[in-house]
Homo-oligomer: A and B are copies of this chain.
Amino acid sequence: MARYFEKVLTDASENLNVETYRLGSDSFPGMQGPAWSIRKFALKGGKQQGVELVEIDNGRMRVALVPTRGMGILDASIEDLPLGWASPVRQVVHPSYVREESAGGLGWLAGFNEFVCRCGLAFNGAPGPDTVRTNTGAETTVELPLHGTIANTPATRLAVRVQLEPPYELSVVGEVPDARMFGAAHRLTSRVSTVPGAPEFVVSDQVENLKAEPAELELLYHCNYGSPLLGEGARLLAPVEFVCPRDQRARQGIGHWDVYGAPETGYAEQVYFMRNRADRDGNTLVALLGADERRAATIRYNIAELPAFTVWKNTAAEADGYVTGLEPGTDYPNNRSFERSRGRVIELPPGGRHAATLTFGCVCGEREVAELKAEVKRLAGGASPAVAAKPDPDYCPG
């Protein structure tokens, strides 16, 4: 008996792209459990003309992912709780409009509005100079723009998959090549999956170095939460071992680094670099706990895969993007030259792979929140975080 149903929706090598598609539990008579659906469609109007979306509705949770934008997760919702944020960028911007080099290397921000956005793959972090090898074999200094190219690279292959026996897992798999001649040639394979009725979805990624030479890898998950979960008094829950402010601006807020303020016009971002504790298998958990302490959004991941953790507090006015980023990564989002100097840039051997799995969920109810807190405490081993009062040169440039 078949164990999976699979439908390939995009395959550039076969010159295939199915623009509109729908699949649902109604397509599988006899399948038990909550009604679910998977839809693919193209957006229209403005800068989103031609951008393709896949929406998975597992009956309880809805996840929208964007093959055209590197398999990023545009937004999600669980029951009545939206996950994501309200960026000033209202459209789902087609990558052909994004010029990373503009605005002093900040052009990436013209398309930034995802709930979960990958930064990488050859580099991520702040714009600035780094040394690269050119076609001639010579080393030269180039200006790396913010956060790399993967978020603005369309998938070349996309398939949906339905497990034909319990738990009837639904998944969408995309391949995104991030390659150029004389440059890096990474391939991201991302699998987004969920089980009908479950309060979570899983992003399971693998990056492969397609080159015959070693290649650098930086991969960071910019997971962004805004209202209503973010609000005055919302808190970060995480088994933090060490935390330091990125710069003098963040230093101002170090006294309440894990607590969020209300929207504040003119607020300049405060960024904290952290190391998290984990269980013996490396599994850890971070969460944004709403101010009412009744709801929390969680991210489970493994520190062997993603050792660095960054918190971006940007509690600006709602109109300007009231948001926090919880950012597990292979590195901190500094310029690659700095991260390399601190030994945090992965060097993938030829054919080498790096995997990362993140589970995005939601916890609801007083008892469940209490359990979550207990779990975080357990992961921390009862220890309190070491809080650095000022930027630490091992983590923070200049």
Contacts and interface: CB of A to CB of B under 8 A. Distances in A.
- Chain A contact surface mostly: loop
Given A11-B45, A106-B134, A318 B100 contact: no
Interface string A68-102: 00000000000000000001111100111101111
Copies in the complex: 3
Contacts of A165: none
Given A43-B12, A154-B46, A88 B137 contact: no
A202 interface: no
A45 B15 contact: yes
The 10 A-B pairs at the shortest CB distance, nearest first, are namely: A137-B268, A212-B317, A12-B45, A46-B156, A104-B142, A17-B44, A96-B96, A12-B46, A110-B180, A109-B181
Interface stretch (A47-55, A292-300, A302-310, A387-395): A47-55
A186 B143 CA distance: 28
Interface of A: 10-17, 41, 43-50, 87-91, 94-97, 99-104, 106, 109-110, 112-113, 132, 134-137, 140-143, 145, 153-157, 177, 179-183, 185, 210-213, 247, 249, 263, 265-266, 268-269, 316-321, 350
A62 to B, nearest CB: 16
A262 to B, nearest CB: 13
B265 A46 contact: no
B180 A320 contact: no
B181 A88 contact: yes
Contacts of A157: 45
B268 A136 contact: yes
Nearest to A42: B15
A137 B269 contact: yes
A104 B16 contact: no
B181 A321 contact: yes
Contacts of A49: 17, 50, 154
B142 A46 contact: no
Nearest to A43: B15
Given A88-B180, A109-B182, A212-B265, 13 more contacts: A12-B46, A12-B91, A13-B90, A45-B157, A90-B177, A96-B97, A104-B140, A106-B135, A109-B135, A135-B269, A137-B249, A137-B269, A181-B321
